[in-house]
Amino acid sequence: MKDKFFKYIHELQDAITSKLEVVDSKAKFKEDLWERPEGGGGRTRVIENGNIFEKGGVNISGVHGKLPKSMQAYFKVGDVDFFACGLSLVIHPKNPMVPTVHANWRYFEMYDENGNIIDSWFGGGQDLTPYYLFEEDAKHFHQTCKTACDKHNKEFYPTYKKRCDEYFYNTHRNEGRGVGGLFFDYCKASETMTMDRWFNFVTEVGNSFLEAYVPIVEKRKELDYTNEQQNWQEIRRGRYVEFNLVHDKGTLFGLKTNGRIESILMSLPPHVQWVYDHHPEEGSEEEKLIEVLKNPVDWV
């Protein structure tokens, strides 16, 4: 399974980066191959200063070795070996009318001292972070997620949509990071779902990503915006940074397993503002977004 999924994320990375280069029409992804001393490595691809995309990364990695003590405590296991692979992406567009997007699809195995698999699971999801709310964009993104889920189980979309709303939530701000999407983790073999069926589901979601995001980019990329709107985008990006550094488990896992710091922190946007005690103007489009982020919406 690990070889099968590792091959898949290589192919998905190629598909996503190729399409985003076409959409941007100027910038190209710079590729960076790296190795982890303890075992494994990855292929980082970063795009910067494009026509559409100010900064973005589409990264794959496959790492293995002894599970660090800090992660042993987290997973409640003893001395075990592990293998983890996945694709993680974050795209920060230049135009504040185009939303930021994040996605991740991953697979994890743990082994006993004889090399036997003692646990394995899939995880992942995709979510949208707009700076200005176009409801039809949120509906399109969620409908694409729902369509992918419904092919496998009608309960997946409402379950993983709710988990996404709960996970990507800045509790210290009492607001969501964005308008959500899907979040699933610890997808393990059961009576109803074999690992092959989980593989089919996770890859279905992965394959739906471009369909979920690119039409929104195409629709919004030419819209005019003001300096004030760009300031708002940078203030909201600050909230994005706060989530990734304070709450995100993937960032924590990367830092605690001696992951490659440039790849872990590629999700951070290049231009961000923290304005003291900032509040949007009453009745404004900015306030409209904040109100939606306080209470998750059923978009479909």
Question: Does 300 map to a domain?
Answer: no
In a domain, 122, yes or no: yes
- Rounded mean pLDDT of 70-98? 92
Q: Can you give the residue range of the structural domain that contains 285?
A: 2-294
Whole-structure pTM value: 0.95
Kindly tell me if the per-residue pLDDT of 128 is higher than 90. yes
pLDDT in tens, 43-64: 999 999 999 999 999 999 999 9
Q: For the domain that residue 114 is a member of, what is the CATH number?
A: 3.40.1500.10
Among 92, 102, 140, 142, which one carries the catalytic annotation? 102
What is the tally of helices (H) and strands (E) in the chain? 9, 9
pLDDT score at 55: 97
Query: What confidence category does residue 267 fall into, taking pLDDT thresholds of 50, 70 and 90?
Result: confident
Is 102 a residue of the active site?
yes
Q: Examine residue 190 and state whether it is found in any structural domain, yes or no.
A: yes
What is the pLDDT, as a whole number, of residue 266? 81
The domain tally of the chain equals 1
* 65-81 CB burial, b ≥16 within 10 A, e <16: bebeeebeeeeeeeebb
pLDDT, tens digit, for every residue of 165-203?
Answer: 999 999 999 999 999 999 999 999 999 999 999 999 999
Start-to-end CA distance of the chain, whole Å, equals 33
pLDDT tens digit sequence for 138-154: 999 999 999 999 999 99
Q: Dihedral (C-alpha) 17, 130, 297, 155: value to the nearest 10 degrees?
A: 10
Task: With a cut of 90, say whether residue 206 has pLDDT above it.
Answer: yes
